A and B are shown apart, each in its own frame.
Chain A
């Protein structure tokens, strides 16, 4: 008789006439095993409780809320079926605020991806290759994290509002330089610029660290094959090796596309001009800026709709990156 035994797995014999089954070995409930499980679950009890309350229950409550109507103070008035979902979909087309918020969220993400990530990887490569001055550059790039990105954000705002027009007037004689934050024609552009500009500070630490993990032999073998040090080495040798790190940033960035507020809260608290709203900021203003809970069911319904679209897309992106991304094999 041919039997295939693998640890703790149930195997059915391929020859049905034998009619034998290998039973799965379950761990016996000895005192040792009970003590082990007691320890494991005593450690995990609180984290699991927090997960059940702040993830499972919060999201379950959000789903229920989407079908309700609530009063100013949050009492449930009644059940309204799919009305909140219908209102949200209708408002995406009819409400300028919602459509601008959605559009701006995508613009912010694409700017970060196409401009930000491209240059982050190129700059990181040269930091990894330790060109002349790279130590100083590394230190300066870390400054916002050292000082606090919050303070840098406020200083940026004060500089752009207060000093930038005077700087252009002093240096170039340009007298009518606009206020790039309070002038609504430029507000969102400034927000995009700031978001991309600040995104370099974390990336220019993470990517070079990931590149430093690449074995020297791998890069050496590339040079032997004729790959030149520089952007050619970056594309052919380095990028495939750090692709898992890039994947992580791509996936987490994509999944926060509709929740990101950018620097809007720091710049404006809850008083940003409508032209600069993002979807994340819209939700922030509706919850933090109002004592009323009347809109909560409508917001919950909108959130569910967006989650239903973004969640599968995020998994699709993850699958595509793993399936079609470059191989790390040496």
Chain B
């Protein structure tokens, strides 16, 4: 009956405009808290306490200046209490985001290349294991992960976390994206290079991987942006470290102890998001053009 209704022209037009109206309402709802964040950051603290929703009567940028020296947290580690200032947290963020994104994406890329382009014993088994790992839900492995990471010295070590960040390289959406991309690359380029005497490594690094630079860049940027905002890993696995996201998270959670008001917290949020906004805006076309999710077969 619904499909017959959709065939009715009047009903179809009504449903179309209702759907578009709902889409606009949803879009506007996304803007409300963000607009509130921006004008609250430019509101004096006293005005905020009088009315937390109203527009500022006296617009000010002082919150951005006063929050920076406040944005520091103390973490209890094995080495004693460590103070993380905003620049320390910024440095940790850069290393964590860039390291994780590069290491995990690089190993996923070369794994996808080998599985897509080479025939070898075990190839299909590895591919099917990757699909299996993607689909099958493993629940309750967190306690075992904690035990294993502590035993291997990965727990509370940023370096070890970065080098083990790839996880299961032949599984996941990024692997499937790279795999599909490599399948579309003609093997004739490699064959010509083999004829000229190039080895497998040379073909991979000098011919095949350079073709993937746009896709790799897009996925690296997405991985970087995602890991930049990762605070979960610091709560769970890296209690002695603090990146900007984790620092900001603790700061806003315990703002009164840091003497920070809501306008200053909002100013802190805006400062934290500046690097990611710049990075995203400058690479927006690259990211959105390279993302398409297909189906899971097998």
- A interface with B by C-beta (< 8 Å): 35-37, 39-40, 43-44, 46-48, 50-51, 53-55, 57-59, 61-62, 65, 74, 119, 122-123, 126-127, 131, 133, 136-137, 140-152, 154-156, 158-159, 162-163, 166-167, 170, 197, 200-201, 205-206, 209-210, 213, 228, 230-232, 235-236, 243-245, 247-249, 251-252, 254-259, 265-266, 269, 279, 283-284, 286-288, 293, 295-296, 299-304, 306-307, 310-311, 314-315, 318, 322
Contact yes or no, B133 A265, CB < 8 A? no
- Using A58-B145, A158-B252 as known contacts, say yes or no to A43 and B110 having CB atoms under 8 A apart: yes
- Using A146-B280, A230-B6 as known contacts, say yes or no to A303 and B249 having CB atoms under 8 A apart: no
Bound form: Cα–Cα A55–B229 in Å: 25
- Chain A residue with minimal CB distance to B114? A43
Contact yes or no, A147 B273, CB < 8 A? yes
- Using A40-B118, A65-B147, A293-B147 as known contacts, say yes or no to A257 and B137 having CB atoms under 8 A apart: yes
B297 CB, nearest partner CB in chain A, Å? 8
A230 CB, nearest partner CB in chain B, Å? 5
Contact yes or no, A155 B137, CB < 8 A? no
Contact yes or no, B52 A310, CB < 8 A? no
Bound form: Cα–Cα A293–B148 in Å: 13
A282 CB, nearest partner CB in chain B, Å? 10
Contact yes or no, B135 A37, CB < 8 A? no
Bound form: Cα–Cα A265–B54 in Å: 29
Contact yes or no, B144 A166, CB < 8 A? no
Contact yes or no, B53 A50, CB < 8 A? no
- Chain A residue with minimal CB distance to B131? A318
Q: Which of A61, A149, A231 meets B12, CB within 8 Å?
A: A231
Give B137-162 as 1s and 0s: 1 = Cβ < 8 Å from A's Cβ atoms.
Answer: 11111111111101010000000000
B127 CB, nearest partner CB in chain A, Å? 12
Contact yes or no, B3 A232, CB < 8 A? yes
Q: Which of A152, A167, A235 meets B3, CB within 8 Å?
A: A235
Contacts of A44 in B (CB 8 A): 111, 114, 126
- B interface with A by C-beta (< 8 Å): 3, 6-7, 9, 12-13, 15-16, 19-20, 22-24, 26-27, 29-34, 36-37, 40, 51-54, 107, 110-111, 113-114, 118, 120, 126, 129, 133-148, 150, 152, 164, 166-170, 173, 199-201, 204, 225, 228-229, 231-232, 235-236, 245, 248-249, 252-253, 262, 265-266, 269, 272-273, 276-277, 280-281, 284, 288, 291-297
Contact yes or no, A265 B235, CB < 8 A? yes
Contacts of B280 in A (CB 8 A): 145-146
Contacts of B32 in A (CB 8 A): 159
Bound form: Cα–Cα A303–B141 in Å: 7
- 9 new A-B contacts at CB < 8 Å, known A35-B199, A209-B293, A210-B292: A35-B200, A36-B200, A43-B113, A146-B281, A148-B273, A159-B32, A251-B296, A256-B137, A302-B139
Contact yes or no, B144 A62, CB < 8 A? yes
Contact yes or no, B22 A39, CB < 8 A? no
- Using A39-B200, A230-B13 as known contacts, say yes or no to A54 and B146 having CB atoms under 8 A apart: no
Residue picked from A74, A163, A254, most chain B C-beta under 10 Å = A163
Contact yes or no, A255 B296, CB < 8 A? no
Contacts of A43 in B (CB 8 A): 110-111, 113-114, 204
Contacts of B291 in A (CB 8 A): 205-206, 209
- Chain B residue with minimal CB distance to A247? B295
Contact yes or no, A143 B34, CB < 8 A? yes
Q: Show 18 residue pairs from A and B whose CB-CB distance is below 8 angstroms, ordered by the A residue.
A: A35-B200, A47-B111, A47-B170, A48-B126, A50-B169, A123-B23, A126-B23, A137-B24, A143-B30, A145-B225, A232-B6, A244-B297, A247-B295, A251-B135, A286-B143, A300-B141, A303-B141, A307-B140
Contacts of B273 in A (CB 8 A): 147-148, 151
Contact yes or no, A296 B147, CB < 8 A? yes
Contacts of A311 in B (CB 8 A): 136-137
Contact yes or no, B137 A259, CB < 8 A? yes
Contacts of B235 in A (CB 8 A): 265, 269, 288
Q: Which of B16, B140, B170, B245 meets A231, CB within 8 Å?
A: B16
Contacts of B169 in A (CB 8 A): 47, 50-51
- Using A39-B201, A159-B33, A288-B235 as known contacts, say yes or no to A244 and B140 having CB atoms under 8 A apart: no
Bound form: Cα–Cα A252–B54 in Å: 42
Contact yes or no, B296 A318, CB < 8 A? yes
Bound form: Cα–Cα A170–B51 in Å: 9
Contact yes or no, A314 B136, CB < 8 A? yes
Contact yes or no, A231 B34, CB < 8 A? no
B154 CB, nearest partner CB in chain A, Å? 9
Contacts of B22 in A (CB 8 A): 119, 123
- Using A143-B34, A152-B34, A247-B295 as known contacts, say yes or no to A288 and B236 having CB atoms under 8 A apart: yes
Contact yes or no, B111 A36, CB < 8 A? no
Contacts of A209 in B (CB 8 A): 288, 291-293
Contacts of B297 in A (CB 8 A): 244, 322
Bound form: Cα–Cα A61–B288 in Å: 40
